[in-house]
Amino acid sequence: MDAFLASTVAVAIAEIGDKTQLLSLFLVARYAARLPIILGILVATILNHALSAWLGAWIA
């Protein structure tokens, strides 16, 4: 059961990027103002990487 849960979590984390790309595509197709969408993606990516780096440093 441990192997199943570990692989399920790994696949779920790997799929987050695909969902983000689809959401970005749908938002750009729906709304004409692209700059707020791009800036939102940029800020979210920076925050995500900063949180990941902080968590990794904290765990280490």
What confidence tens digit (pLDDT) does each residue in 6-49 have? 888 888 777 777 777 888 888 889 998 889 998 988 898 899 89
Given this model, what pLDDT does residue 58 score?
Answer: 94
Given this model, what pLDDT does residue 47 score?
Answer: 93
**pTM recorded for the entire structure:** 0.61
pLDDT band for 57, please (50, 70, 90 cuts): very high
Kindly state the tokens that stand for 8: 């399920």
Amino acid found at 5: L
DSSP track, the chain = -HHHHHHHHHHHHHHHHHHHHHHHHHHHHH-S-HHHHHHHHHHHHHHHHHHHHHHHHHH-
Place of tokens 């441990």: 2
pLDDT band for 54, please (50, 70, 90 cuts): very high
Contact predicate 27/37, CB 8 Å: yes
